[in-house]
Amino acid sequence: MNILLTGASGYLGSHLARVLVSDGYRLTVLKREGSDIRRIIDIGADLACYDIESGGVQQAFRGASYDAVVHTATCYGRGGESAADVCAANTAWPLELMDAAASAGTPLFINTDTSLERFLNPYALSKKQFTDWGHLFADQGRIRFVNVVLEHFYGPGDLESKFVTKVIRSCLRGDRRLDLTAGIQRRDFIHIDDVVAAYTLILRHALVDGIPFQEFCIGSGTAIAIRDLVVMIRALSGSDIELHFGAVPLRTNEPMESLADTSALQALGWQPRTGLEGGLSRTIEIEKELMKGKTP
């Protein structure tokens, strides 16, 4: 099976790329010229790579056919990008990609969406807008579209811009204090290994089922208050960091609870295998090794 993957240099995409290669898929990657490819350097010989800025979309479809496009690339807008930049990365560019895939006869597009509320920020809005385009393409019979709605995933080696990683590293570094919101909002956290297992299962089924539009939610199916999560991380890491709940205001339109309805995934036989406390403990131990400069 030939798969075209975006976001392979990122945290989710690199984990997925490694498993897809191990499972015997032939993988083509679309990436930015300046992408940091350290996460996938060990499987580089197994990948065909095209740079987006150098006509990568057109090159990737020239003389090649794919069984599916798996789109995991995203721009969170945390690097000072404008709303227009975020929209271009999360709506306009994947629309160009999906248009090219449909024109080339690619039967399936698997998209990565967010569980965040549509009007929370430009990132969430731009992701929802592209999902609307995918629904339109599916309704028109141009391509089958599978929308994967992700809750908050975590694991060792992720960016510190991610909440769980930030809290863990603040504890392990011995930071004196950590400013937080009141922490009353409840969120669904899931380990990266369970996320990748869900993607590969979705891909296998979507390749053969022929349904025009499908949506799967990936999460643990349970929610925990942010305050309780942070206290758990502090205890598991053995830290005495001061937690200042309420020092940071809640965002406008902040949802008070988010958790995945995993019934569609469960119908395919999927269940998360990593409990929150066990997953956090393992992540903390590996983060300790990474901070020492060791490869776990």
CA angle 114, 115, 118 (to 5 degrees): 80
Judge contact between 210 and 276, C-beta under 8 A. no
**To the nearest whole number, what is the mean pLDDT of the chain?**
96
Judge contact between 6 and 72, C-beta under 8 A. yes
Task: Tell me the sheet residues that pair with 114.
Answer: 150
Confidence of residue 295 (pLDDT cuts 50, 70, 90): low
Give the pLDDT confidence of 210-249 residue by residue, as tens digits: 999 999 999 999 999 999 999 999 999 999 999 999 999 9
Task: Answer yes or no: is 37 within a domain.
Answer: yes
Judge contact between 244 and 176, C-beta under 8 A. no
Tokens 């199916």 map to which residue?
221
Short-list 156, 184, 185, 101, CA closest to 285: 156
Judge contact between 47 and 27, C-beta under 8 A. yes
Two structure tokens written together for 80: 């000072």
Judge contact between 220 and 190, C-beta under 8 A. yes
Beta-strand pair 177-180/108-114: unpaired
Tally of structural domains, the chain: 1
Mean pLDDT of 166-177: 97
Q: Above 80 in pLDDT, residue 251?
A: yes
Task: Answer yes or no: is 21 within a domain.
Answer: yes
Give the pLDDT confidence of 105-126 residue by residue, as tens digits: 999 999 999 999 999 999 999 9
Buried b (16+ CB within 10 A) or exposed e, 168-207: bbbbbeeeeebebbebebbbbbbbbbbbbbbbbebbebbb
| pLDDT, position 151 | 98
| pLDDT, position 63 | 85
> CA–CA separation, 286 vs 164, rounded Å?
14
| Residue range(s) defining the domain that contains residue 44 | 2-154+188-221+258-274
Mean pLDDT of 130-144: 98
pTM across the whole model: 0.95
Short-list 163, 152, 183, 186, CA closest to 256: 186
| pLDDT, position 36 | 87
Task: Answer yes or no: is 240 within a domain.
Answer: no
> CA–CA separation, 45 vs 160, rounded Å?
29
Give the pLDDT confidence of 41-68 residue by residue, as tens digits: 999 999 999 999 888 899 999 988 999 9
Q: What CATH number has the domain bearing residue 22?
A: 3.40.50.720
**Percent of the chain whose pLDDT exceeds 90:** 94
Task: Answer yes or no: is 169 within a domain.
Answer: no
Task: Answer yes or no: is 237 within a domain.
Answer: no
**Percent of the chain whose pLDDT exceeds 70:** 99
> CA–CA separation, 283 vs 236, rounded Å?
10
| pLDDT, position 294 | 61
Task: Answer yes or no: is 290 within a domain.
Answer: no
Task: Answer yes or no: is 59 within a domain.
Answer: yes
Judge contact between 46 and 29, C-beta under 8 A. no
Task: Answer yes or no: is 232 within a domain.
Answer: no
| pLDDT, position 140 | 98
Q: Is the dihedral of CA 269, 272, 274, 279 positive or negative?
A: positive
